[in-house]
Amino acid sequence: MKPDLGAPKRYFPIKNLYRVASLVAFFCLLGCSVVVFLEGLSVTYPAYQKHGPVMIEDLLTVPGLVAIGLFLAGLAAGFWAFLNWNKGVVVYEHGFAVHDRKGSQPWRWEEIVSLTGAVTRPLSNGISTNARHVFTLINRQKQQLVLNDVIYRVEELALLIQDATTPSLYDQARQQFNAGQQLVFGPVVISKAGMEVSRKTYPWDEVRQVSIRRGILRVSKKDGNWLSGASAPVSIIPNLNVLLNIINQVVGLKTG
């Protein structure tokens, strides 16, 4: 029985570009496989007539393997197009669901335990081009879901998921922190004693600020500059928003 996620609120479909590109790749790759194989035959057949069957292996093996590779790649592209043609993510009141030809995969807000986001901005001639987004979710059953730029406005979708899951994740983390437990956020570990970043430990009274600059979480010490602290890429820190809120609101240390 599928869980009731409530009324639908937003829909994020797959981008048309990926639909069309996968379909074009399907026909192009299959066509290229036929052309390569026929070209190999056109070279092999005269040699076969002149020198016998020994020429088949010598002249047709490579074109045949290339043709098979192109054919399989074309089938993969076609299968991807078939499977994802109607793919999309629907956001509901109590969660979201990923829909495709295989069915619907529901994710309730309270079942999500981890959200990690990686955003890269490639440079072209020193100018930042279109950002690339990869968001990874994990639920209580240890299932993993990756959302990327195949989905239209995936960054907006990830923000909706973050806003819906942060309150409960923060409340749970706050209670665990106040109870004296360690909280692990990938390479960052915090407790009442202090924080550990990339295996470097700092008591809270030695930390001046925790900040994020260009996708890097940085720790500065009170008795030194930024280089005296530690750092870790935010792309591998799950529930980053929860971590910063705990440091800011519970520990009382400025983050920015």
Domain containing 50 equals 11-84
Give Cα 215 distance to the centre of its chain. Answer: 15
Residue 199 or 121, more confident: 199
Kindly state the helix (H) or strand (E) to which residue 64 belongs, with its residue range.
helix 54-84
Is 56 a residue whose pLDDT tops 80?
no
Of 84, 108, 133, the last residue of a domain is 84
In a domain, 95, yes or no: no
pLDDT at 129: 58
The answer to whether the CB of 40 falls within 8 A of the CB of 59 is: yes
21 with 95: CB under 8 angstroms?
no
Average pLDDT over residues 202-231: 80
Average pLDDT value for residue range 214-225: 80
Kind and range of the H or E element at 73? helix 54-84
Non-local CB neighbours of 239 within 8 Å, separated by 6+ positions: 114, 115, 116, 166, 169, 173, 185
Confirm whether 90 is domain-assigned.
no
Domain boundary among 35, 68, 84: 84
Residue 196 lies in a domain: yes
On average, the pLDDT of the chain sits at 87
pLDDT recorded at residue 225: 57
- Is residue 51 situated within a structural domain? yes
pLDDT tens, residue by residue, 100-148: 888 889 999 999 999 999 888 665 555 545 788 999 999 999 999 999 9
In a domain, 165, yes or no: no
**Strands 200-203, 194-197: parallel, antiparallel or unpaired by DSSP?**
antiparallel
Domain boundary among 28, 52, 84: 84
Taking a C-beta distance cutoff of 8 angstroms, is the pair 145, 156 a contact? no
210 near 217, Cβ under 8 Å? Answer: yes
Q: Is 164 inside any structural domain?
A: no
Is residue 100 within 8 A of residue 81, CB to CB? The reply is no
Checking if the pLDDT of 86 tops 70, the result is yes
pLDDT tens figures, 240-250:
999 999 998 88
Report which of 216, 43, 215, 198 is spatially closest to residue 121, judged by C-alpha positions: 215
Residue 105 belongs to a domain: no
Mind listing the pLDDT tens digit for each residue in 20-50? 889 899 999 999 999 998 988 888 888 777 7
Q: In this predicted structure, what is the pLDDT of residue 224?
A: 64
103: left (phi over 0), alpha (psi -120 to 50) or beta: left
Query: Which residue would you say has higher pLDDT here, 106 or 199?
Result: 106
Long-range contacts, stretch 23-27, CB < 8 angstroms, 24+ apart = 23/77, 23/78, 23/81, 25/73, 25/74, 25/77, 26/74, 26/75, 26/77, 26/78, 26/81, 27/74
Q: Residues 163-185: what's their mean pLDDT?
A: 94
**Percentage of the chain exceeding pLDDT 70:** 92
Q: Which of 147, 70, 164 is nearest to 111 (CA)?
A: 164
Predicted local confidence at residue 106, as pLDDT: 93
Per-residue DSSP letter, 14: B
Task: Tell me: pLDDT of 1 over 50.
Answer: no
How far is the C-alpha of 212 from the C-alpha of 162, rounded, in Å? 18
If one compares 86 and 223, the residue with the highest pLDDT of the two is 86
Residue 61: pLDDT band by 50, 70, 90 thresholds?
confident
Q: Please state the domain count of the chain.
A: 2
Highest mean predicted confidence (pLDDT) among 121-130, 193-202, 218-227: 193-202
pLDDT of residue 117: 92
Residue 43 lies inside a defined structural domain of this protein = yes
What Rg, from alpha-carbon coordinates, does the chain have? 26
